[in-house]
Structure 1
Amino acid sequence: MAIFSCRSGNGRAESAMRFCLVFFVFVFSALSARAETAQTAFSEAIDLFEAALPNLPAEMVSVDIATYRDALTLRQFRSAYWGGSISLDVAEAGEGAERSCKDFAAFVRLPPQDGKLVLTLCPQFSTPGADALRRLTIIHEMVHVVAGPDECRAMAFAARVEEAATGTFTPVDRYWAANNCAASAFSLPR
């Protein structure tokens, strides 16, 4: 762990303090912007889900809609899948996440530990101009939070929510094929 010191022992205290102030403002601004990006993504995912809700059944692709709604909006829920009460934390990728972040914008470590799951947001989650992708990433990852690791289920669910809300869905053909989802119990909307 690196420790940064804003003390100067060479008589340039004023310059060092200016540098430190600029450095801390930059770091705080970057962290604040990433937190705002995550909160905006959650808000937009909630808006999309709520727009779809009147068109959704009580259960869709083996995901209980009421449980999913609690997880998405409250970040806590009672889980039949995991057994018991589960809370969700959202974190920025840290040490040890490099491998998972290489291929994903976000991921959830499963199963829950002590009644908690962590949704980790990778650096590419904050890519400028990727608002729709962030919103769908949250919708997709929350399926893992509620119903486990099945990628095909998560893709099918996200596509159905998007279609129910907007009348169309984002194509995921390459990812669908890469996960051999044609052979799964799930399907994309037609």
Structure 2
Amino acid sequence: MPSRLIVALLLFMVVMPLSASATSTTERAFDAAIALFEKALPGLGAEMSGVATATYRDALTLRRFRSAHWGDAVDLRITDAASESAGCARFAAYVDLPPRNGTATLTVCPRFHRDGSDALRALTILHEVVHAVAGPDECRAMAFAAAIEQRATGRFTDVGGYWRANSCQASPYALP
């Protein structure tokens, strides 16, 4: 009987990480994004790039926030997409906007788990949570996420190509 228990436990230990790998990648990215934000927080004001920092912090850490932009309380739901269809054809992650029935859904796409580095995944989470809190403006999301990364690490990921592709140089936002 003990050998069957050992075999069952070993099988569970092998199979469980495989089925939970996407979730753990997403959670690690959230943990890294939270760590970056918390490190940057002392240097932030009440608002940056039109994003209320306290509201953003609630969205990132609690996944529930009261949004001045949306006018109500919003839950942030995280879901993993099974295929590259819909928004996943173009993005590693995206937020369905506006929130529906008090819920903003952040969809994490398959490429989020297989492409890029852990740092890029954390930056993606920082960026997407801006959309959940403050709306669809790509320039705002890039500026905010880059500023967090810069304040936390002393550098920020080069998003110049994406910045230019979205004509952000003409926006009211700036990269650090």
> What's the TM-score, normalizing by structure 2?
0.88
- Name the structure 1 match of 2:64: 76
Q: 1:145 aligns with which of 115, 123, 132?
A: 132
Q: 1:10 corresponds to which residue?
A: none
Partner of 1:55: 43
Quote the residue 2:33 is aligned against.
45
Q: What is the deviation of 1:99?
A: 3.1
Q: Secondary structure at the match of 2:105?
A: strand
Residue matched to 2:141: 154
SS in 2 for 1:112: strand
* Counterpart for residue 5 of structure 2: none
Q: In the alignment, residue 152 of structure 1 is paired with which amino acid? A: C
Shift of 1:101: 1.1
Task: State the 4+ residue runs in structure 1 displaced beyond 2 angstroms.
Answer: 24-31
Instruction: Provide the rounded CA distance (Å) in 1 between the counterparts of 2:141 and 2:80.
Output: 21
What SS is found at the alignment partner of 1:88?
strand
Aligned-pair distance for 1:44? 0.6
1:58-114 Cα deviation digits (max 9, x unpaired): 10000000000000000000111001110011001146x613112211000000100
Q: What's the CA shift for 1:25? A: 9.0
SS at match of 2:99: coil
Which one of the candidate residues 102, 109, 116 is aligned to 1:122? 109
Give the drift of 1:128. Answer: 6.1
Q: Secondary structure at the match of 1:120?
A: strand
Instruction: Give the whole-Å Cα distance in 2 for the aligned partners of 1:148 and 1:27.
Output: 39
Instruction: Please report the RMSD computed on the Cα atoms of aligned residues, expressed in angstroms.
Output: 1.8
Larger Rg: 1
Which residue is 1:136 aligned to?
A: 123
Residue aligning to 1:8: none
Q: How many residues align?
A: 165
Contact 2:82 2:110 (C-alpha < 8 Å) held by counterparts: no
CA distance in 1, matches of 2:15, 2:135: 35
- Residue 167 of structure 2 aligns with an amino acid whose one-letter code is N
Residue 165 (structure 1) shift: 0.6
2:80 corresponding residue in structure 1: 92
State the one-letter code of the partner of 2:63: R
User: Which whole-Å deviations, capped at 9, do the CAs of 1:116-145 have from their partners, x for residues lacking one?
Assistant: 011000011112661011100000000000
- Structure 1 residues without counterparts, runs of 5 or longer: 1-23
* Alignment TM-score, normalising by the size of structure 1: 0.82
Q: Which residue is equivalent to 1:12?
A: none
Distance between the aligned counterparts of 1:178 and 1:128, measured in 2? Answer: 21
